[in-house]
Amino acid sequence: MPWVLYFSLRQLRAYARHTLPAVLALAAGTLGMLVVFSFSAGFDDHLEQDLLGLVPHLYLEPGIVHWLQADLSDTAGGVPGVAEVAPYLAVSGLLQRGDIAETVTVRGVDWEQESLPVQGDGGAVIGEALARRLHVHIGDALTLTTAAQTFEVQVAGTFRTGYYQQDAEVVYLPLRHVQEVLGVSGISGYGVRADDLSALDRLADRLAAATDLWVQPWYYRHSALYAAWQGQRIGAWVCFGFFTLLIVVGMANFLHQLTFRQTQPMWTLRVMGASPQQLARLVVLQAVILGAVGAAVGTGAGWLLVRHFAAFPVILPDVFYLRELPILWAAHRLGWVWLAVVGGSWVGALYPLLHASQVGLEEVTVDDYRAAR
């Protein structure tokens, strides 16, 4: 073992009363960053699995023409990056049960072509919020009025995305049934699911060029939810930056004090022939060791805490988009967190190492020795 590593470990152990709080503080910073990122990852997963499981990633519509007659499924499906294409027909209507009526958007879909997490089985699928407002359950009959026709539908299922606009205003019906009731053969457009959600803008340009249709990403129609989604992502990185700054400042202060306490041992090393560069390397090595140990402890504690929140989620009031606070272990952020903790500890050592590298034989006095003791 190199003597610098041996002496670093020996000194950290000798000053355990001071190094242990530093390790715990680094562990707390690691835990905080991982929990924040895990809540952010849980929100992302909820959005992709729940809301975007019912909402197309991209809308393809003719724009001026009310109904689209041409079959462009193969054309759109052949564009690179498209995972699924399914037709839909959307009209506004009034859903009524007794004296209670709610304005809704009727969305006719092909259950066989569109891989939705709910299936209508010939009836209507409505959001849980809409079902509560109408006081209906599966099997109940409702009256649906559109500009062209009034007809009766039966509730075949319910869904919940956590997004009130979707859960309280959308009704899914079989596409053929809606076409027969309205007396039309065309569709409103196509719903497209993409392979990569981060490349929707580029995919929209390719689809528009291939189909000559108006293409709109999902976040244009759900701008409030998209703003909340982006806000929590930005907030997570702001917290990450704040934690990193605290680590740098805290470690700079701690290592400065630790280096001062090690003045007498460093004088001894200088007498034995150690160079100023080796003493500086000693301080950096101590910082990296503390950062790595703190990151390891914080990672383990963070994993346990995330598992706890996953098993016992935080229940939110009905005024929020979500019923409970989603959380998912942010394994993909571990590299960033460790870089912040270990790298922040290294940066915090830059000022103390200047003191260590300037320890000279002529500067060590009796007062220095007593202060170091």
What are the tokens at 296? 């390891």
Dist. CA 317–CA 333, nearest whole Å: 29
Within 13 A of 293's CA, how many CA atoms are on the CB side?
Answer: 16
pLDDT tens, N- to C-terminus, the chain (373 residues):
477 777 778 777 877 888 899 999 999 999 999 999 999 999 888 888 777 878 889 999 987 767 888 889 899 999 999 999 999 999 999 999 988 899 999 999 988 777 776 766 778 999 888 999 999 999 899 999 988 888 899 998 888 887 778 888 999 999 998 898 888 888 999 999 999 888 899 999 999 999 999 999 998 888 888 888 889 899 999 999 999 999 999 998 888 887 777 766 765 666 666 676 777 787 888 889 999 999 999 999 999 999 999 999 887 776 566 677 889 999 999 999 999 999 999 998 887 777 666 655 555 555 444 544 4
b/e sequence 99-113, b meaning 16+ C-beta within 10 Å: eeebebebbbbbbee
Beta strands in the chain (DSSP E): 58-61, 82-97, 100-109, 124-127, 141-146, 150-159, 170-174, 189-194, 214-217
Length of the chain: 373
pTM exceeding the 0.85 threshold for the entire prediction: no
Say which residue the tokens 């899914």 belong to. 172
Measured in whole angstroms, the distance separating CA 300 from the mean position of its chain's CA atoms is: 20
Dist. CA 328–CA 346, nearest whole Å: 30
Measured in whole angstroms, the distance separating CA 368 from the mean position of its chain's CA atoms is: 52
Dist. CA 224–CA 286, nearest whole Å: 48
Determine the 3-state secondary structure of 288 from DSSP. helix
Quickly count helices (H) and strands (E) in the chain: 14, 9
Dist. CA 197–CA 58, nearest whole Å: 10
Dist. CA 117–CA 137, nearest whole Å: 19
Say which residue the tokens 């026709």 belong to. 149
Q: Is 312 exposed, middle or buried (0-12, 13-18, 19+ CB in 10 A)?
A: exposed
Say which residue the tokens 């003597």 belong to. 3
Q: Which of 136, 84, 133 is nearest to 123 (CA)?
A: 136
What are the tokens at 63? 């724009």
**Beta pairing partners, 108:** 89, 173
What are the tokens at 183? 């007396």
What pLDDT does residue 263 have?
A: 66
Q: Which of 113, 114, 109 is nearest to 125 (CA)?
A: 109
Determine the 3-state secondary structure of 153 from DSSP. strand
What pLDDT does residue 313 have?
A: 86
What single-letter DSSP state applies at residue 369?
H
Contacts of residue 160, Cβ cutoff 8 Å, sequence gap at least 6: 50, 127, 128, 129, 167, 323
